[in-house]
Structure 1
């Protein structure tokens, strides 16, 4: 089943499994893919485990509002993310970043 949203890259996100415990998404990045597993902890709190094997991949634009905390850890390879016009995050293997 395809994820419903307005952004054109959402056509590349597929829901592989959805139940009370978790939702598993597959994202086709063009030069590889990624698996995102979302675990709802309680209302308003979710944990995502991302496993991407791709050089470049766009992230859905439905980021949370101003009241959120995001923790990223790069186990292997490199992680880069743009947080607006002039704000970027770069993580190498073993790095941890907390943003909010």
Structure 2
């Protein structure tokens, strides 16, 4: 499989476990906690596979960026976090950074 696709999937899994932290309520709820841990392990594992061929700094930055953008966007819909111009601009800058790293 393409290492960039693997990093993208790992980043989406990072979004899942970051959101899972909220739903697990400090790991006090069993099933959200289990899902969070499974997604975290899967995300790290996929990232490690992608790093076999991609530079570590690039792979890690893209992984974090995808996770950060995914979590920020999902939180707007799931937790009614505010949307304003500065937040949208910040997400846009992260996305631009991801694209730049992909083509660097």
- Taking structure 2 as the reference length, the TM-score comes to 0.22
Question: Greater RCO between the two (CA within 8 Å, min separation 6)?
Answer: 2
